[in-house]
Chains A and B, each alone.
Chain A
Amino acid sequence: MSCLVTLTKMNVRLLFRNKGVWAVFIMLPLSILLLLNINWESEEKQLYYTNNQVNELEQAESDLLYLSDEMRYIVKVYDSSDAEVSDWLLQKLADMGMFEIYRYDAREMSFGEIVNQITESVSSDRVGTYFHIKSDFTEKLLAGEPEQGVTLYQGAKDDRQELFEEAVQNQLKILMTYAPYAQNQETKLKEVLEEALITIPEKEIKTISTAPSWQMSQQQKNARTNISLSFAVLALAFALGGVFIAHTVIEERENSVLTRIALCDVTKAAYMGSKLVISLIATIFQTAVIAIGFRLLLQISLGLRYTDYILIIFLLGFICNVCGLCVGILVGNVMSANFAVFLFWMFSTLVAGLYFPAAEMTGLLRVLAGLTPQKWFLNIAEMLLLQQKGGYTLMVLVTISFLMVTASIGAVGMQMKERI
């Protein structure tokens, strides 16, 4: 026990003597916290959309890229008509369930402006079809030629393009059927339609969940995005911290300190234990910096209780630190270890789904994500966000499992590199 304390004291001195440590332990977490305050995302991300409804856009240039849901087909409507019947038509299209309809009231825009905007935005947006309802739509409709009052601009090839075209055709057919009864009056047409379509059976949509559903509100989703981004970047600070501890192992190996330590009746377990203790001290130090910085610098909402978030960061940080330590020991060179840790961290944050929604993960990605601590801690954060039971138990289990695996790899690596 006494040798463990002596070794730890020696390591603390050795570690904090390195100026780089102060940069990684203090400056890096603080700059990361400042970075998290930047509003990276487009404002429209906060725009709420409703399924089976016509969603009104306040700005013509609204970028709809991120609003798209894989399952629905985005249709952006430039409505130049001042017609009630266009409301009816768009509502009917939205009601079909497959299309996400966004309408901009384009009465103030010229035809040229609309076409320009469409051609400019098509390659940077995920809109499937741009639907232009012209100003003379009602007149054309009452004249029996509604197709001349609309134009479809189709984007990237998609099976749903034809379905949307077909849906528009069918709804125009309904309008053409009842337009003659409206006696050339638009207001009358709406009444006629309501009366005629009363015979259509009413539809209701219900959802069956096969797995326990974690339905999040938009606010919780935003909090989740912030949490995952903070996990992504803070993990690097911890992992690089681990490399600095590995640096002490490498230096000791190079300066033959290890041989001298071995001669002093120090067991391998005590030596490895001291490295884990120093890793723990470093993690506590970094977490304390983050905890203070979090209070002083972070202005975004993470949705979690302060103590919960700091606890998660501490445990995730400890695992990342030990991982960095292991990589450093295995690589045996600080500069190469820095690069290896950086690549390893980059890859793991990517497959852990910290940059994109977990729902989009496919089979192999899910398996790989399960091997990363970030993914597990993100799940724990989600559980705590939704106030589900078992979050803390999972936290303990995940930490123990990852620490056991990484520490064992590190111990084997150390054994392989040399004999104490």
Chain B
Amino acid sequence: MLFILMKNNLKLMLRSHWIIMLMIVSPIVITAVLNNVFEQLMKSYESPENILVGYRMDENSLLADFMPNIKTTAAEHGISMVELSGSDVQELVKNNGCMVFVEMGNEDYVIYEIDDYENEGRIVEYFLTGLFDSIAVQNTTNSPKLDVIQLDVMPNVEAKDYYGIVYTVFVIWCCFVVLTGVISSERSNKIEQKYQVTLITDWKLYLGKAIPCVFVTLIVTGITTLASTCLFDIRWGSLPASILILFLSIAAATVYGLFCCCMFRTLAISISISFVSIWIAGFIGGAFETYMYSSIRTPIKEMSPLYHINRALVECSAIGSSTYVKSSILYLGGIIIVFTVLGLALSKWKRGPRL
């Protein structure tokens, strides 16, 4: 009986072509676009090269004597300094394509930083401040040897890996939408009431929906993961841990979706509530702004299962292991048990006593 139920539900689920197509395509499209746009943002800082600096010298500037030395040293640091004449700094910058402008006064200097070239401005500021400071140092003084300790840190995660992983997880959490076809058909045809005259148990009715949903999502996730891995070369790091977390996520998302469907009679409310709750979990858990750079407080982040899952998978991808693997497995296990029990109890209570 369970097998027949599963087979029928599976057929119903596979009829939702749009949903299955969206589940396969959306993580791939989102990863492609976000990888493109966040690639630069997630890269580590690199010093700009070939900085063009315009400068103007006051007639009586005491700094004039230093200028040849400054220009030579600047050139060694990739900074080309060009003397310009004219009164309007903004015009000079615009006409000569300067990234930074320096005005050498009598005993002082002004650095004009241009908002499009902030990085270059900082480099020039650093360079000139350091250079003028060095006037105060005796050449005979040796450079002190500093005690530098390199800390063990996680290497930067690439945007393609981050968003590829995070959106596979996020779409998994929306997997209960494949169930909506089954549930709406059950409700409109009063199938659950009809089942009450059969010997089928509540547990089997529950499994009849949960197992095909897990099965369909597994296939969909498999296709998505394979396609995005081939297309964007996403690294999954420790495969056994990642596969286990993804599988548990599918199971947890299914039971959570079934619980939401049992909670409200109107399917639209169930869908809206579950979407909003998953969005909140994703918002906290780094599905939109990366969890590394998000300003949400850590205790709040740790409340979201998606934070544990995303962090475990991303860290596995970057360094091969993560302390969050254990917590995400525990969290997912907890969700599976709690929502299965609640979902079963709710559906039993709503259906009333057996005939």
| A residues in contact (CB < 8 Å) with B | 18-21, 23-24, 27-28, 31-32, 35, 40-42, 45, 63, 65-66, 70-73, 92, 95-98, 118-119, 122-124, 126, 130, 145-148, 150-160, 163, 165-174, 176-177, 196-197, 199-211, 213, 233, 236, 240, 244, 331, 333-336, 338-340, 342-343, 346-347, 349-351, 355-356, 360-362, 364-365, 368
Contact = CB atoms under 8 A, between A and B. Distances in A.
A88 to B, nearest CB: 12
Contact of B138 (A19, A165, A177): A177
Residue of A45, A123, A150, A331 with most partner-chain B CB within 10 A: A123
Contacts of A355: 283, 288-289
B129 A206 contact: no
B126 A163 contact: yes
- Closest CB pairs A-B (n = 10): A20-B268, A97-B125, A147-B144, A336-B18, A365-B37, A66-B295, A202-B108, A335-B180, A23-B269, A159-B47
A197 B137 CA distance: 10
A360 B116 CA distance: 12
A368 B37 contact: yes
A173 B295 contact: no
Nearest to A121: B151
A335 B271 contact: yes
B108 A203 contact: yes
A27 to B, nearest CB: 8
A31 B18 contact: no
Contacts of B136: 174, 177, 196-197, 199-200
A236 B136 CA distance: 62
Contacts, number: 275
Contacts of B294: 66
A35 B128 contact: no
11 contacts: A23-B264, A45-B295, A66-B293, A70-B45, A157-B155, A167-B130, A202-B107, A202-B109, A340-B18, A347-B33, A364-B33
Interface stretch (B216-224, B243-251, B273-281): B273-281
A171 B137 CA distance: 9
Nearest to B90: A208
Residue of B111, B129, B134 with most partner-chain A CB within 10 A: B129
Given A150-B146, A170-B133, A211 B115 contact: yes
A210 B16 contact: no
B150 A20 contact: no
Contacts of A71: 118-119, 122
Given A24-B272, A71-B118, A210-B114, A174 B137 contact: yes
A365 B163 CA distance: 15
Interface in B208-253: none
B2 interface: no
Given A200-B136, A205-B110, 9 more contacts: A21-B268, A42-B296, A97-B129, A157-B44, A158-B45, A205-B111, A338-B177, A338-B268, A350-B288
B146 A169 contact: yes
Nearest to A158: B45
Contacts of B295: 40-42, 45, 65-66
Nearest to A342: B275
Interface of B: 16, 18-19, 22, 26, 30, 33-34, 36-38, 40-41, 44-47, 62-63, 89-90, 93-94, 101, 105, 107-116, 118-119, 121-123, 125-126, 128-130, 132-138, 141, 143-156, 174, 177, 180-181, 184, 264-269, 271-273, 275-276, 279-280, 283-284, 288-289, 292-298, 300
A15 to B, nearest CB: 12
B40 to A, nearest CB: 5
A36 B321 CA distance: 35
A92 B145 contact: no
Nearest to B300: A40
A52 to B, nearest CB: 9
A215 B280 CA distance: 31
Contacts of A365: 37-38
A170 B141 CA distance: 10
Nearest to A171: B133
Nearest to B154: A123
Nearest to A209: B115
Given A154-B151, A204-B108, A364-B37, A340 B90 contact: no
B78 to A, nearest CB: 12
Contacts of B101: 208
Contacts of A360: 41
A113 B185 CA distance: 62
A333 B18 contact: yes
Given A72-B122, A200-B133, A155 B153 contact: yes
B312 to A, nearest CB: 14
A278 B342 CA distance: 39
Given A170-B130, A177-B138, A152 B180 contact: no
Residue of A21, A96, A351, A361 with most partner-chain B CB within 10 A: A96
A203 B129 contact: yes
Given A20-B268, A20-B269, A23-B268, A208 B108 contact: no
Contacts of A32: 276
B275 A338 contact: yes
Contacts of B46: 159
B276 A31 contact: yes
